[in-house]
Structure 1
Amino acid sequence: MAAPFEMDDIDRRIIAALQVDGRRSFQRLADDLGVPASSVRYRTKRLEDAGILQIVGIANPLAIGFDRLAMIGIRVTPGTARSVCAALAELPETSYVIHTTGRFDVMAEVICEDVPHFIDMLNGRIAAITGVVSTESFFVLEAHKLSYGWGVGSVRPAIEEPGGV
């Protein structure tokens, strides 16, 4: 078993700064945090390797040709939630897959080009996953908040963007 990952204030401040601007250079982060660039580079790599940090570009799917965003609640056969989650995570349409409690065992966010694509993905591929008992879909009509700036407590980024964070 791997030892628990210990994060300190500098790690948290690196994460907070990258959540504001994922393209911020190691040198700029280092200058903002008052540490050497080599430390920022090492710590960022360590956070990525531990699965704590992932730096990606986020596109608005509705603005690039995708017409259907939906949350899908999934009920599964007892004991299969993890394998269902693993299978869902392999689908290119899923952007978010969680094992949860409550009415559904698993929730997945999917992004599809149109209704026929959604139907194929839901009835063809998700329904075929071993362990899936039933699904309930919730189409996203409007997104009022999409935020990725969380997870580091009350730590403020090294430099706040104009207008605050």
Structure 2
Amino acid sequence: MAEHIEGLDELDLKILSFLQDDGRMTFKEIASRIGVAERTIRLRVSNLRENGTLSIVGVVSPMKIGLNIIAVIQIAAKQNGLQQCAKELAELSEVRFVSLTTGDYHILSEVCVESLEALSDFVEKKLNKVTGIERTNVIVETKIMKNKFNFIREN
């Protein structure tokens, strides 16, 4: 199991490990596998959710709902407009991820759209109107080899 992380004990890490593999696993099943009371699991999960360590959500496969094109977009932005640029980008419905980064590009984003034509329209009609963009690098994902959310690793 992962080494101790500040604020989380071994029991928390075990619970997180089970839930990252199956977010619908019942408290009873987790308790049985770990060897503690179901109430203990219920309280721990509640605390993990309240302190922001854990969110339990349904992850939708974009391609299963018609969003067949996923593009990573690197953005170089004006330094004095970086925050505004990232904020505007995050408000666009096609954008699912935005982060500030180091290097030649200051912002990294991921966009999901129906087709290459829709990506072209997005870039032309929406992305190019975002304040502060100096240049972009649009990278279309051609094949996803791994897409996991497993952050708790066993040794």
Which category describes the TM-score, using the shorter chain as reference length? 0.7 to 0.9
Report if the CA contact (8 A) 2:67-2:114 is conserved.
yes
Q: 1:143 to 1:74 in 2, by over 3 A?
A: same
Is residue 2:118 matched to residue 1:154? Answer: no
Q: 1:37 to 1:110 in 2, by over 3 A?
A: same
User: What does 1:1-165 correspond to in 2, within 5 Å?
Assistant: 6-150=7-151, 152-154=152-154
Report if the CA contact (8 A) 2:68-2:115 is conserved.
yes
Shift of 1:71: 0.4
Range 63-72 or range 111-120, more displaced: 111-120
Write the distance in 2 (CA, Å) between the matches of 1:22 and 1:124: 38
Write the distance in 1 (CA, Å) between the matches of 2:98 and 2:149: 16
Report if the CA contact (8 A) 2:17-2:153 is conserved.
no
Shift of 1:32: 1.7
Write the distance in 1 (CA, Å) between the matches of 2:53 and 2:114: 30
| Structure 1 stretches lacking a partner, 5+ long | 156-165
Report if the CA contact (8 A) 2:89-2:95 is conserved.
yes
| Structure 2 stretches lacking a partner, 5+ long | 1-5
Shift of 1:118: 1.8
Q: 1:139 to 1:32 in 2, by over 3 A?
A: same
Q: 1:81 to 1:48 in 2, by over 3 A?
A: farther
Shift of 1:79: 4.3
Write the distance in 2 (CA, Å) between the matches of 1:120 and 1:14: 44
DSSP 3-state at the match of 1:35: coil
Aligned-residue Cα RMSD (Å) equals 2.2
Identify the structure with the greater helix proportion: 2
Shift of 1:122: 2.4
Q: 1:133 to 1:21 in 2, by over 3 A?
A: same
Give 1:163's aligned residue: none
Aligned-partner residue type, residue 74 of structure 2: G
DSSP 3-state at the match of 2:24: coil
Give 1:159's aligned residue: none
Deviation by residue 1:59-108 (Cα, 9 ceiling, x = unmatched): 33223312211000011111443443333333332222221111211111
DSSP 3-state at the match of 1:107: strand
DSSP 3-state at the match of 1:101: coil
Write the distance in 1 (CA, Å) between the matches of 2:63 and 2:56: 21
Q: 1:140 to 1:34 in 2, by over 3 A?
A: same
DSSP 3-state at the match of 1:127: helix
Identity of aligned residues (%): 29
Report if the CA contact (8 A) 2:69-2:115 is conserved.
yes
Q: 1:99 to 1:19 in 2, by over 3 A?
A: same
